[in-house]
Amino acid sequence: MNNNHNSHYQNQRNLHQGRPQRETVQESIPIGQRIPLTIKRLGINGEGIGYFKHTICFVKGALPDEVVTATVTEIHPRYMIAKLHTIRQKSPNRVEPRDPFADEVGGFELEHLSYPAQLEFKQDVVRQALEKYRPSGYKYYKLLPTIGMDNPYEYRNKAQFQVRVLDGKVAAGLYKENSHDLVDLPTCSVQHPLIMKVMRRVVELLEAYQVPIYDEEHGSGIVKTIVVRVAVATNEVQLVFITNSTKLPHKRDLITELQKRFPEIVSYMQNVNKGKTSLVWGDDTTLLAGKTFIQDKLEDLTFNLSARAFYQLNPYQTAKLYDEARKALELSPNDNLVDAYSGVGTIGLSLAAQAKEVRGMDIIPESIEDANENAKLNGITNAKYQVGKAEEVLPQWMAEGFHPDALVVDPPRTGLDDVLIQTILTSKPERFVYISCNPSTLARDLAQLTKTYIVDYIQSIDMFPQTARCEAVVKFTRRH
């Protein structure tokens, strides 16, 4: 999951600059040496942090207050990375991970940490990010305790598993971190159980019908990825085969067999993504059987979801997230609301009854089609969505005379584009809420946004239990 491995450690190391460097670690210890460490805290990706000869050392899998030995694997000028060898003194917060592959693939970084401690960590991650970027007044921001789940497992409504042949058998799962080595996942504690049942049946059928599986090295074979998404409120399931060619041998057999066992699958799709590419999805998505979308419900609204559309991955926490956004925004009936980075319009549409007009935008055309369709489906007449980049569409609307009174931004992990930040700083919407899935880019953006806004509080919400990922809602007040 972490493609930015070295820059990530570099960033964390920057938090610890200023310490006098006596002897450089390169001079004093070789790679492969085993060192003792006392773990002080967790870093932003959930790794244990200790110090050896005044140099920060990251140890994946180690927990705060643990005394460990670790084998040095990488030495950089001002930080090092070591592999956990022995735990001499165990944290009382250490628990047995449910998934045997938890330390191999990304997305299970905290499965060895008790859930209450995970929630504390997520509040702390926000604090760490603020300390790095130091937005105005950051020391006084109110950081509210993280809102967690009662059952922090089986929450994911979508699996996107790579498919390969391993030891002569079809396997579907995730890559080992920083590699393309696949780990087969016959079970997965965070996935909705129906998703795993569908996934494993698909694997069995691909094997039984000897459907050619993609071979990355030679660029040959056909099935690359399987995507299964469930709408938990309706139990409708969508299955997408992502393939290396427009052909999908035995597609009729596969669908017939799946239909026998899973009436829940109402949408069978194929997406074509030819050749070697770092992108999982190609541009062409076609219907194989059933309908092109599944339907989910959030509170009293119904949403159509196409295969490519972004939709929150934890439906149980989504309602809480949107509730926090609604509370923080404090809309007035005369407000023009902008739902920036809208996906299928879930946030804006759930707020439309409290606003005069809702406008939203997203770069994925299918999401926007869904968003406008979703407005109709729910009888909402004061909302419209447009395809495009937030940083281009909002200035365009404003040039046309539209003034946003209220703004919700919910950007991807990269945070807000600089042009959008400037647009916000000049248009100064009275009400403004930032929903962030990456505390680092949030803190970076706050450094600019706090020129015009005061941060009232930051509410962290755990959308991804067992991972180091953290979601947060920021409530602002405009400066006068």
Ligand X SMILES: C[S@@+](CC[C@H](N)C(=O)[O-])C[C@H]1O[C@@H](n2cnc3c(N)ncnc32)[C@H](O)[C@@H]1O
Q: Which residues bind ligand X (CB under 6 A)?
A: 310-312, 341-343, 346-347, 361-364, 367, 389-391, 410-412, 417, 437
DSSP state of 403: -
How far apart, in whole angstroms, are the C-alpha atoms of residue 366 and residue 309? 6
Question: Do the beta carbons of residue 111 and residue 419 sit within 8 Å?
Answer: no
One DSSP character per residue, 211-251 reads PPBPBTTTTB-SEEEEEEEEETTTTEEEEEEEESSS--TTH
For ligand X, which is the closer residue by CB, 94 or 389?
389
Alpha helices in 345-456 (DSSP H): 346-351, 365-377, 390-399, 418-427, 439-449
- Per DSSP, what are the bridge partners of residue 52? 55
Identify the CA nearest to 271 among candidates 258, 259, 284, 262: 284
For ligand X, which is the closer residue by CB, 137 or 412?
412
Question: Do the beta carbons of residue 476 and residue 421 sit within 8 Å?
Answer: no
Q: How far is the CB of 144 from ligand X (least distance, A)?
A: 20
Sign of the dihedral through C-alpha 210, 238, 308, 445 = negative
For ligand X, which is the closer residue by CB, 257 or 391?
391
Spatial neighbors of 424 by CB under 8 A, at least 6 apart, are: 407, 409, 416, 432, 449, 452
Identify the CA nearest to 62 among candidates 21, 15, 94, 34: 94
HSE on the CB side for 160, CA within 13 Å? 10
For ligand X, which is the closer residue by CB, 75 or 361?
361
Q: How far is the CB of 306 from ligand X (least distance, A)?
A: 12
For ligand X, which is the closer residue by CB, 107 or 411?
411
For ligand X, which is the closer residue by CB, 146 or 423?
423
Q: How far is the CB of 277 from ligand X (least distance, A)?
A: 18
For ligand X, which is the closer residue by CB, 196 or 394?
394
- Which one from 57, 188, 437, 470 is the annotated catalytic residue? 437
How far apart, in whole angstroms, are the C-alpha atoms of residue 420 and residue 394? 8
- Per DSSP, what are the bridge partners of residue 354? none
Beta strands in 363-411 (DSSP E): 383-387, 406-409
Residue 154, helix vs strand vs coil? coil
Q: How far is the CB of 75 from ligand X (least distance, A)?
A: 36
Which structure tokens are listed for 224?
Answer: 């690359």
How far apart, in whole angstroms, are the C-alpha atoms of residue 297 and residue 232? 8
Q: How far is the CB of 371 from ligand X (least distance, A)?
A: 9
Q: How far is the CB of 393 from ligand X (least distance, A)?
A: 7
188 has catalytic annotation: no
Question: Do the beta carbons of residue 275 and residue 247 sit within 8 Å?
Answer: no
DSSP state of 369: H
For ligand X, which is the closer residue by CB, 70 or 463?
463
State which residue has the least CB distance to ligand X: 343
To which residue do tokens 């927990």 refer?
Answer: 63
Q: How far is the CB of 369 from ligand X (least distance, A)?
A: 13
How far apart, in whole angstroms, are the C-alpha atoms of residue 46 and residue 394? 36
For the chain, the C-alpha Rg in angstroms (whole number) is 24
User: Is 362 annotated among the ligand-binding residues?
Assistant: yes
How far apart, in whole angstroms, are the C-alpha atoms of residue 352 and residue 79? 49
Q: How far is the CB of 392 from ligand X (least distance, A)?
A: 8
DSSP state of 82: E
User: Is 410 annotated among the ligand-binding residues?
Assistant: yes
Question: Do the beta carbons of residue 410 and residue 435 sit within 8 Å?
Answer: yes
User: Is 341 annotated among the ligand-binding residues?
Assistant: yes
Sequence ranges of the binding site: 312, 341, 362, 410
Q: Which residues carry out catalysis?
A: 437
Sequence ranges of the binding site for S-adenosyl-L-methionine: 312, 341, 362, 410
